Amino acid sequence: VISPKLAGKIRFLDSTEEEQRRGITMHSSAIALLFRLEDKSAAKAEKSESFAEEYLINLVDSPGHIDFSSDVSTATRLCDGALIVIDVLEGLCTQTHAVIYKALRERMKPCLVLNKLDRLAVEMKLTPIEAFHHLRRIIENVNALAFSLLTSELRQLAELEGRDPNIEISEDDPFLLEWNFSPEKGNVIFASAIDSWGFSITKFSNMWAKKLGLNRNVLQKYFFEDYSFNSKTIKIVKYNAADSSMQPMFAEMILKPIWDLYEAAVVNTDLTAAVNLAEQEVCLSYPNLSLS
Ligand SMILES: Nc1nc2c(ncn2[C@@H]2O[C@H](COP(=O)(O)OP(=O)(O)OP(=O)(O)O)[C@@H](O)[C@H]2O)c(=O)[nH]1
Ligand SMILES: [Mg+2]
């Protein structure tokens, strides 16, 4: 529906004149999207009958502004899952609290989208390590907020049902686990909508696992933690901040290639350098390592 050139720029779902003029979403609007799994082996490996290779996703884009929160209430009633989009420069805003609370009350299956990563590289000029810590802090803040909203919700529920509201909430509570965001679990997406890209660390775990001959689950487990990859021994080791030759895996193996690409393409506007970097793909984290 949207040409690749306009993707990320056109406000396709803000269709009324006033929304276009004010540059904000005022009413919810929906679109049906067909999604095909790229990796069909995942569908085959999954025994469940409900797992398919193709999905029709009915996406409802709802407003963020607090004045139009009744539209969010309707959308949370209608939908099974929620993509909670956070601007990584702004972090948690008042409207994020309201939206999370509504989604949580409707028992939606959530996924966190950390958007505008391009601005961390180009505008804020954070290094990949600084950006990694910044992103980690946002996820921690969202988790703390979801935890406090969820416990108060469960206590209110207990009170309504005539049970003791001072219940202890178990850490294994499935509802609590669902509202705990962690890139390792695949419920966090890193994105730059304006530049039409986004990923979960599963994508990079699969890519690096193939290149390095390592187990993808092991990579997935350590990618967002304080671990480094030693390219000499091809081993994952504990990250030591005092050792300047070390970088956390997420910073070095995921953010650095993206940062280098932004530096070449956007900061230096050197198209040849950008194309060269893109062709080297993820290998540019370790130029001395000969990888396929
Ligand atoms: N740099 C950058 N800007 C972005 C990105 N995504 C969106 N924007 C800009 O952020 C502004 C708001 O984008 P919208 O898509 O309207 O955001 P929204 O969350 O739908 O806003 P409301 O629905 O009005 O709450 C626009 O000026 C976009 O161009 C991104 O990934 N990077
Ligand atoms: Mg909008």
CB 1 within 8 A of CB 39: no
Cα distances from 104 to residues 19, 71, 157, 163, in angstroms, run: 27, 16, 13, 21
- Ligand 1: centre distance to CA 9 (Å): 9
Q: Which of 267, 189, 192 is nearest to 8 (CA)?
A: 192
Q: Note the ligand closest to the C-alpha atom of 86.
A: 1
Q: Which of 80, 63, 79, 75 is nearest to 27 (CA)?
A: 63
Q: Note the ligand closest to the C-alpha atom of 84.
A: 1
Q: Which of 9, 24, 123 to mutate to test the pocket of ligand 1 (most atoms within 8 A of CB)?
A: 24
Q: Would you state the pLDDT for residue 274? A: 86
In terms of pTM, does the model score above 0.85? yes
Residue of the nearest CA to atom 27 in ligand 1? 23
**Residue range 141-200, pLDDT digits in tens:** 999 999 999 988 888 888 999 988 887 878 788 888 999 999 999 999 999 999 889 999
**Residue range 10-54, pLDDT digits in tens:** 888 998 999 999 999 999 999 999 988 876 666 666 666 677 788
**Ligand 1 atom nearest 195 alpha carbon:** 31
In this predicted structure, the answer to whether residue 247 has a pLDDT above a threshold of 90 is yes
- Alpha-carbon span 15 to 26, nearest angstrom: 10
**Ligand 1 atom nearest 24 alpha carbon:** 24
